[in-house]
Structure 1
Amino acid sequence: MTAPQSSSLPRLLLLLSATTGLVDAASVLGLGKVFTANMTGNVVFLGFAAAGAPGFKFGPSILALASFMVGAWGAGYLARAHTERPLRHWLLWAAIVEGALLWIAALIALGIDVAAQAPQLGVLSVIALTGFAMGLRNATVRQLKVPDLTTTVLTLTITGIAADRSATNIARRFGAVLSIFAGAAVGAMLLFHGGLALPLALAGAIVLGATLVFARDPASALPHQP
Structure 2
Amino acid sequence: MSPAEEAPAPKTHDPEARGMRLVLVLLTLTVVSGLIDAVSYLGLGHVFTANMTGNVVVLGFAAAGAPGFSVPHTATSLGCFLLGAVTGGRLAARVGRGRRRRWTRLTLVGEAALVGVSAAVAFAWPHSTGTVYALIALTGYAMGLRNATVRKLGVADLTTTVLTMTLTGLASESRLGDGTGHRSPRRTASVIAMLAGACLGAWLVLHHGLGLPLAIAAAASAVLAVVASGRE
Give the TM-score normalised by structure 2.
0.86
Gaps of 5+ in 1: none
Q: CA RMSD in A?
A: 2.0
Secondary structure of 1:167's aligned partner: coil
1:107–1:197 Cα contact (<8 Å) kept? yes
Q: Note the C-alpha offset of 1:210.
A: 2.1
Corresponding residue number in structure 2 for 1:211: 225
The 5 A counterparts of 1:125-144 are 125-144=134-153
Equivalent pairs: percent with the same residue? 46
Q: Note the C-alpha offset of 1:112.
A: 4.4
Could you tell me which of 95, 102, 109 is aligned with 1:82? 95
Distance across 2 between alignment mates of 1:104 and 1:128: 11
Corresponding residue number in structure 2 for 1:46: 59
The 5 A counterparts of 1:144-183 are 144-164=153-173, 165-183=179-197
Corresponding residue number in structure 2 for 1:123: 132
Q: Note the C-alpha offset of 1:190.
A: 1.3
1:21–1:180 Cα contact (<8 Å) kept? yes
Distance across 1 between alignment mates of 2:169 and 2:65: 35
Kindly tell me the number of residue pairs found equivalent between the two proteins. Answer: 213
Corresponding residue number in structure 1 for 2:5: none
Secondary structure of 1:110's aligned partner: helix
Gaps of 5+ in 2: 1-13, 174-178
Q: Deviations over 1:65-99 (max 9, x none)?
A: 00000000000111111133222211111111110
Distance across 2 between alignment mates of 1:109 and 1:33: 17
Distance across 1 between alignment mates of 2:38 and 2:125: 15
Task: Tell which structure's C-alpha radius of gyration is larger.
Answer: 2
Query: Are positions 1:184 and 2:193 aligned together?
Result: no
Distance across 2 between alignment mates of 1:129 and 1:112: 15
Give the TM-score normalised by structure 1.
0.89
2:45–2:70 Cα contact (<8 Å) kept? no
The 5 A counterparts of 1:92-111 are 92-111=105-124
Distance across 1 between alignment mates of 2:162 and 2:153: 15
Distance across 2 between alignment mates of 1:2 and 1:19: 26
